[in-house]
C-alpha cells in the first residue's frame, strides 16, 4: 500500500489541469453495453475506479482498451454473460450502473448488491423501483439482484428519494429506457452535469433523450443504439479540490479545464471565504491572501454545493478565522474524515448531520488514514496546510478518483511524495 508524505505550510502557486470526470465516465462506460457497435470515449481519467469497471465489463463480455491516443475503445465481444460478481461490485458501487444497460440489451442481469459503504447507508431501492416500472421482474437472491424482462415498456417514473434525486439511479433507468418500447418520463431526475453528459453520449449513439439537466427527462425508446465517439466532461470535483488546495495553503492557483457553469455552488463558498476568484468559461484562478473567513455550507444535489466537496471544505474551515458550520444534506453520515482532521489539531464537533468547526491559525502535521475518496482528498489538503510532515495512509482511496494527485500538487510547488507504506517516514517538524 502507498502513502503520501507531505511537508505542509507552503503556498501552492501555478497552473494545473483537471482531468475528465470520473463520475461521468463510469455510467457512460457501463451504458456502452447498449451499443451494437464499438464506442470511443475520450478524456476518461486513468483512475482505479475506471480499471475496476473495465474488469466488471470484461466479465460481461465487453472489451475495454485504452488506445495510444488515450481514448477508451469499448466493444461487446460476447453478449451472453449477464452476471457481475460481488468480488468486483463490492469494490466500487458504481459497478451497479451495469444493471440497467444489461437488462435492456440482454434481457437479463444478475448484479451483486453493492453492500456497505463508508459514506453510510446507500440503498439502491430507487434503481430497482425505476426498472420495475419499466416492466422488469426483479428479485434478490443471495446478495444478487436478478432482473429479467422480455421487453421493457416506457413508463412514468418518479425517482425522488428522501435526500433528493439519485444520480446513478437516474443513469440506470435512463440508460435502460433508451431501448424500451414507447416513451419514458423520469420525474425527480438527478440534474447533475454527469447525467447530461450520459444523455449526450446516448443521444450520440442514436437514443432520443430530452430534458437531461432538468428534473423531468423524457426518453423515446429506439430499436437499437449504434457506435460513436464521445468526450467526457471535465471533472468538477477534481477542479474544486485543486481550487481548495490553493485556498487552504494561501496560494495562487490557476485550474484549467474547470467549467464555470459546473462550479457555481463551490465558487460561491470560496468567494464568501474571502478568496479572490477570476473566472473564464473553462478555467478558474484562485488567490487567497488571508486566512479564510468562516463558511456556512449545506450540501445538496446539483446545482448546490456537492457532497463530494464537503470533506475538502471542512478541511478549509479548520483554518478559518472563526466558527464554520458544514451541514451534510446528501449522505448524513459522511464525516469519516473528521476524526482524522482532529489528529492535525483541528477543532471540530459533530452535531447530527453537521460539523461545527472552530478555525485555528495552524494545523500541525500528523499520521493520517484515508477511509474514502473525498475524505482522503480532504486529508491531503489539510496536510498541505499543516506545519511539518504528515503521512496520509491508505491513499488507494484517493487513487480511485484522482489521476496522479501528488504529481499535480507537486507541479504547484507542494512538497509531496508517494512512498510504500512499509518504509515509514519520520514524522514531525521538518
Ligand atoms: N438513495 C436512496 N435510494 C436509492 C439511491 C440513492 O435513498 O436507490 C439516496 C442515497 O442514500 C443518498 C441520495 O439518495 O442519500 C443520493 O445518492 P445518489 O444515488 O445520488 O448517489 P450515487 O448515485 O450512488 C453519485 C456519485 C457519488 C456522489 C453522489 C451524490 C457516482 C459514481 N457516484 O453516487 O460520488 O457522492 O452521486 O452526488 O457518480 C464520489 O465520487 O466520491 C462519490 C461518492
Task: For residue 430, tell me if it sits in a domain.
Answer: no
- The pTM assigned to this predicted structure is 0.97
Task: For residue 76, tell me if it sits in a domain.
Answer: yes
Residues 6+ apart with CB under 8 A from 86: 112, 115, 143, 144
Report yes or no: 342 and 375 within 8 Å, Cβ to Cβ: no
Atom of ligand 1 nearest to the CA of 162: 7
Which pLDDT belongs to residue 322? Answer: 98
In DSSP terms, which residues pair with 183 in a beta bridge?
220
For the chain, helix, strand, coil in percent to 5 are 35, 30, 40
**pLDDT tens per residue, range 217-245:** 999 999 999 999 999 999 999 999 999 99
Reading across the β-sheet that carries 2-7, which strands appear in turn?
Answer: 367-369, 389-393, 2-7, 415-420
Atom of ligand 1 nearest to the CA of 128: 8
Same domain, 139 and 274: no
Same domain, 84 and 210: yes
Same domain, 310 and 215: no
Q: Is the CB of 189 under 6 A from ligand 1?
A: no
Sign of the Cα torsion 284, 289, 291, 295 reads negative
Atom of ligand 1 nearest to the CA of 237: 41
Provide the number of structural domains found in the chain: 2
**pLDDT tens per residue, range 338-362:** 999 999 999 999 999 999 999 999 9
Same domain, 202 and 221: yes
**pLDDT tens per residue, range 239-281:** 999 999 999 999 999 999 999 999 999 999 999 999 999 999 8
CA dihedral 3, 7, 10, 15 (to 10 degrees): -30
Same domain, 320 and 388: yes
Same domain, 99 and 247: no
Which pLDDT belongs to residue 163? Answer: 86
Q: Is the CB of 308 under 6 A from ligand 1?
A: yes
Q: Whose CA is nearest to atom 39 of ligand 1?
A: 23
CA dihedral 57, 195, 159, 145 (to 10 degrees): 0
Q: Is the CB of 272 under 6 A from ligand 1?
A: no
H or E segment to which residue 169 belongs: helix 167-177
Q: Is the CB of 388 under 6 A from ligand 1?
A: no
- The yes-or-no verdict on residue 430 having pLDDT over 70 is no
Is residue 117 flagged as an active site residue?
A: yes
Cis peptide before 283 (omega within 30 of 0): no
- The yes-or-no verdict on residue 399 having pLDDT over 80 is yes
From the CA of 430, how far away is ligand 1's center (Å)?
A: 40
Atom of ligand 1 nearest to the CA of 97: 32
Task: For residue 425, tell me if it sits in a domain.
Answer: no
Which pLDDT belongs to residue 412? Answer: 98
Q: Name the one residue in this structure whose C-alpha cell is 454473460.
A: 81
Residue of 191, 183, 188 whose CA lies nearest to 209: 183
Report the phi/psi class of residue 9: left, alpha or beta, with left for phi > 0 and alpha for psi in -120 to 50: left
CATH of residue 403's domain is: 3.65.10.10
Same domain, 15 and 53: no
Which pLDDT belongs to residue 120? Answer: 80
**pLDDT tens per residue, range 281-322:** 899 999 999 999 999 999 999 999 999 999 999 999 999 999
Atom of ligand 1 nearest to the CA of 308: 36
Q: Is the CB of 96 under 6 A from ligand 1?
A: no
**pLDDT tens per residue, range 42-64:** 999 999 999 999 999 999 999 99
Residue that is last in its domain, among 204, 231, 258: 231
How are beta strands 156-158 and 183-187 bridged, if at all? parallel
Q: What is the DSSP string of 233-279?
A: PB-HHHHHHHHHHHHHTT-EEEEES--HHHHHHHHHHHHHTT-EEEE
Cell (9 digits) for 49: 475506479
Q: Whose CA is nearest to atom 29 of ligand 1?
A: 167
From the CA of 117, how far away is ligand 1's center (Å)?
A: 11
Residue that is last in its domain, among 199, 231, 263: 231
Give Cα separations from 270 to 15, 243, 295 (angstroms). Answer: 18, 9, 8
Task: For residue 297, tell me if it sits in a domain.
Answer: yes
How many residues are recorded in the chain? 430
**Phi and psi angles of residue 110, each rounded to the nearest 5 degrees, phi first:** -125, 105
Atom of ligand 1 nearest to the CA of 401: 41
Which pLDDT belongs to residue 429? Answer: 40
Sign of the Cα torsion 376, 380, 383, 389 reads positive
Task: For residue 116, tell me if it sits in a domain.
Answer: yes
Same domain, 33 and 172: yes
Cell (9 digits) for 122: 446507500
CA distance 253 to 384: 14
From the CA of 168, how far away is ligand 1's center (Å)?
A: 6
- Mutating to test ligand 1, I would choose from 129, 138, 165, 166 the residue with most ligand atoms within 8 A of its C-beta, which is 166
Q: Is the CB of 310 under 6 A from ligand 1?
A: no
Confidence of residue 122 (pLDDT cuts 50, 70, 90): confident
- The yes-or-no verdict on residue 422 having pLDDT over 80 is no
**pLDDT tens per residue, range 407-421:** 999 999 999 999 998
- Mutating to test ligand 1, I would choose from 122, 299, 378 the residue with most ligand atoms within 8 A of its C-beta, which is 122
Q: Within 10 Å of residue 422's Cβ, how many Cβ atoms?
A: 7
Q: Is the CB of 303 under 6 A from ligand 1?
A: no
Question: Could you give the maximum distance between any two Cα atoms of the chain, in Å?
Answer: 66
Cell (9 digits) for 394: 491508505
**pLDDT tens per residue, range 68-93:** 999 999 999 999 999 999 999 999 99
From the CA of 32, how far away is ligand 1's center (Å)?
A: 21
CA distance 71 to 215: 31
Average pLDDT over residues 9-19: 97
Confidence of residue 428 (pLDDT cuts 50, 70, 90): very low
Decide: helix, strand or coil at residue 285: strand
Q: How far is CA 303 from the centre of its chain?
A: 15
Task: For residue 428, tell me if it sits in a domain.
Answer: no
Average pLDDT over residues 190-205: 98
Q: Is the CB of 417 under 6 A from ligand 1?
A: no
Same domain, 331 and 411: yes
Same domain, 264 and 342: yes
Task: For residue 377, tell me if it sits in a domain.
Answer: yes
Q: Name the one residue in this structure whose C-alpha cell is 453520449.
A: 201
Same domain, 161 and 213: yes
From the CA of 87, how far away is ligand 1's center (Å)?
A: 21
Domain span including residue 52: 22-231
Report yes or no: 42 and 70 within 8 Å, Cβ to Cβ: yes
Task: For residue 426, tell me if it sits in a domain.
Answer: no
Same domain, 41 and 60: yes
In DSSP terms, which residues pair with 219 in a beta bridge?
184, 209
Residue that is last in its domain, among 210, 231, 252: 231
Residue of 403, 401, 398 whose CA lies nearest to 380: 398
CA distance 200 to 25: 12
Residues 6+ apart with CB under 8 A from 81: 59, 60, 61
Q: Name the one residue in this structure whose C-alpha cell is 444493471.
A: 99
| Catalytic option among 97, 117, 300, 419 | 117
Report yes or no: 64 and 54 within 8 Å, Cβ to Cβ: yes
Amino acid at each position: 500500500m502507498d502513502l503520501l508524505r507531505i511537508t505542509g505550510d507552503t503556498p501552492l502557486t501555478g497552473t494545473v489541469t483537471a482531468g475528465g470526470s470520473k463520475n461521468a465516465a463510469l455510467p457512460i462506460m457501463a451504458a456502452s453495453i447498449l451499443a451494437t457497435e464499438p464506442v470511443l470515449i475520450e478524456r476518461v481519467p486513468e483512475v482505479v475506479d475506471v480499471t475496476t469497471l473495465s474488469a466488471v465489463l470484461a466479465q460481461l463480455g465487453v472489451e475495454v482498451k485504452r488506445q495510444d491516443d488515450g481514448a477508451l475503445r469499448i466493444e461487446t465481444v460476447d453478449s451472453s454473460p449477464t452476471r457481475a460478481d460481488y468480488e468486483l461490485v463490492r469494490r466500487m458501487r458504481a459497478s451497479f450502473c451495469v444493471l440497467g444497460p444489461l437488462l435492456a440489451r440482454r434481457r437479463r442481469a444478475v448484479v451483486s448488491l453493492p453492500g456497505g459503504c463508508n459514506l453510510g447507508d446507500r440503498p439502491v431501492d430507487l434503481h430497482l423501483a425505476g426498472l420495475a416500472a419499466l416492466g422488469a421482474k426483479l428479485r434478490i437472491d443471495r446478495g444478487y439482484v436478478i432482473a429479467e424482462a422480455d421487453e421493457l415498456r416506457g413508463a412514468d417514473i418518479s425517482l425522488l428519494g428522501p435526500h433528493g434525486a439519485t444520480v446513478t439511479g437516474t443513469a440506470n433507468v435512463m440508460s435502460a429506457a433508451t431501448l424500451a418500447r414507447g416513451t419514458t418520463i423520469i420525474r425527480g431526475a438527478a440534474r447533475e452535469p454527469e447525467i447530461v453528459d450520459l444523455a449526450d453520449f446516448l443521444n450520440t449513439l442514436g437514443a432520443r433523450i430530452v430534458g437531461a439537466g432538468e428534473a423531468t427527462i423524457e426518453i423515446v425508446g429506439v430499436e437499437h443504439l449504434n457506435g460513436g465517439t464521445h468526450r467526457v466532461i471535465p471533472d468538477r470535483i477534481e477542479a474544486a479540490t485543486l481550487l481548495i488546495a490553493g485556498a487552504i495553503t494561501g496560494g495562487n492557483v490557476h485550474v484549467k479545464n474547470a467549467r464555470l457553469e459546473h462550479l457555481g455552488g463551490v465558487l460561491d463558498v470560496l468567494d464568501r471565504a474571502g478568496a479572490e476568484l477570476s473566472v473564464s468559461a473553462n478555467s478558474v484562478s484562485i488567490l487567497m491572501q488571508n486566512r479564510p473567513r468562516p463558511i456556512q455550507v449545506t450540501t445538496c444535489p446539483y446545482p448546490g454545493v456537492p457532497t463530494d466537496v464537503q470533506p475538502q471544505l471542512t478541511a478549509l474551515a479548520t483554518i478559518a478565522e472563526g466558527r464554520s458550520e458544514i451541514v451534510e444534506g446528501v449522505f448524513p453520515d459522511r464525516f469519516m474524515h473528521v476524526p482524522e482532521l482532529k489528529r492535525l489539531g483541528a477543532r471540530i464537533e459533530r452535531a447530527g448531520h453537521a460539523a461545527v468547526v472552530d478555525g485555528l491559525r495552524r494545523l500541525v502535521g500528523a499520521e493520517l488514514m484515508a477511509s474514502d475518496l473525498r475524505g482522503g482528498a480532504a486529508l491531503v489538503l489539510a496536510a498541505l496546510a499543516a506545519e511539518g510532515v504528515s503521512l496520509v495512509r491508505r491513499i488507494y482511496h484517493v487513487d480511485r478518483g484522482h489521476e496522479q494527485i501528488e504529481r499535480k500538487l507537486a507541479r504547484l510547488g507542494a512538497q509531496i511524495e508517494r512512498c510504500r507504506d512499509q518504509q515509514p517516514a519520520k514524522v514531525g517538524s521538518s
